[in-house]
Structure 1
Amino acid sequence: MDFKALLKFLRELDKNNSKEWMDRHRKTYHQLRDSFIQWLDGLDTRLAQIDPEYYPTPGKAGINRINNNLMFHPNKPVYKDHLGAGLDKAPKSADFYIQIGIRESLLAGGLWRPDPKRLRSIRDAIDYDGDAFLKILNKPSFKKVFGDLYED
């Protein structure tokens, strides 16, 4: 995966965020997208080797659309400034999310909108083991990598 080429494309897209520009550069977009999917496939294989509970997810199944949904967010640009994908798409389980972008690149993990019973279980576990949880969050080695958590 040529990440420099991807970031260059995303910067140009950000400056010229229109369907007309994308139509003129769609071939380049598809080449970069296909390369990203292949890279995700390699990452998927590696995650499956590391984690016995990992639910393999091909890159093509995990990648997100580059179009913003303007029906619900009409003030957003037509296209996103990043490529993102979710891996480990087992039903009702936590997954990994990876995003490569011009403003933010990240690797994250967690649950998206857990059902009330699961959310209660997570909150109870954090409350029950709150001291251990805070100890991890306040470790200098953790803060060096992840920084402080945002309050939400």
Structure 2
Amino acid sequence: MNETIPREAFAFLKRLQKNNNREWFTEHKNEFKEIEREVKQFVNQLGEHLNKHDQIDKVKVFRVYRDVRFSKDKTPYKTHFAGSFHRVKPRLRGGYYIQIKPNNESFIATGFWDPKKEDLLRIRKEIEMDDQEIRGIINEDGFKNVWGELEGEEVKTAPKGFSKEHAAIDLIKKKQFIFTKKYTDKEVIAASFMEQVNGDFKAIRPFFNFMSEVLTTDLNGVSLIED
């Protein structure tokens, strides 16, 4: 299995950015398919590495074709490669994502992009009761050195049923709980990139452990998962 991103991936994607049309892509489709095959191997191999310290039940490599039906941008192809890794549900929560894009725009992301309404309420209720544990995790030096600050969309003041004066309103008003990390093109094509990404993903575990515990129990800490 391939453990590196081919250098040709960036060169092809840069050309695709300048020639994002069906005629050019059709002419160069064989070249694309070979590069895509190597990227898929990389993503699948990364999934195997993740499975050594986590439980992944699905690895997905996204297609290059864009859905332009509801977009002002009618270019037919994505100018990046991307993959996602799903943890075993319902016991384990959270997910991993990787995007390979030229001009130093590659990144990985983890967390909760679109939590269900009931999950978001449960998270907010937990933080309302006690925000010390989650703050201890996301503010720990080793964690922040890898993942930086918590990101994600949020409501303007306070969600319905919560006080905007609450000491933890900065966390309660979050609608998403996301962390991202960027990489340069040089880092992506390096032989150590697989190991780097796997290690960075592994560093998110304390946050995932906390969220998984919250989302599989009620406010009294009683498990919601049937044996």
The interval holding the TM-score normalised by the smaller chain is 0.7 to 0.9
Match of 1:98 in 2: 98
Match of 2:168 in 1: none
Match of 2:62 in 1: 64
What does the per-residue CA deviation read over 1:9-41, in whole Å, with 9 as the maximum and x for residues that have no partner? 111111111111111111111111111111112
Compute the displacement of 1:128 (Å).
Answer: 3.4
Q: Is the 8 A contact 1:86 1:97 kept in 2?
A: yes
Asked if 1:74 is matched to 2:72, the reply is yes
Count of matched residue positions in the alignment of Structure 1 and Structure 2: 147
Q: Structure 1 residues 45 and 116, CA, compared in 2 at 3 Å: closer, same or farther?
A: same
Higher helix share: 1
Give, in whole Å, the separation in 2 of the partners of 1:35 and 1:24: 20
Match of 1:55 in 2: 56
Q: Which runs of 5+ in 2 are unaligned?
A: 154-227
Give, in whole Å, the separation in 2 of the partners of 1:142 and 1:49: 20
Q: Structure 1 residues 74 and 44, CA, compared in 2 at 3 Å: closer, same or farther?
A: same
Q: Structure 1 residues 118 and 7, CA, compared in 2 at 3 Å: closer, same or farther?
A: same
Structure label with greater radius of gyration: 2
Q: Is the 8 A contact 1:45 1:56 kept in 2?
A: no
Give, in whole Å, the separation in 2 of the partners of 1:109 and 1:41: 17
Match of 2:110 in 1: 109
Which deviates more, 130-139 or 93-102?
130-139
What does the per-residue CA deviation read over 1:18-74, in whole Å, with 9 as the maximum and x for residues that have no partner? 1111111111111111111111121111111111xx13324xxx0111122110113
Q: In angstroms, what is the RMSD of aligned CA positions? A: 2.5
Question: Normalised by the size of structure 2, how large is the TM-score?
Answer: 0.56
Q: Percent identical across equivalent pairs? A: 28
SS at match of 2:52: helix
Amino acid at match of 2:124: R
Q: Which runs of 5+ in 1 are unaligned?
A: none
Q: How does 1:1-150 map to 2 (within 5 A)?
A: 1-51=4-54, 54-58=55-59, 62-88=60-86, 90=88, 93-102=93-102, 104-138=105-139, 141-150=142-151
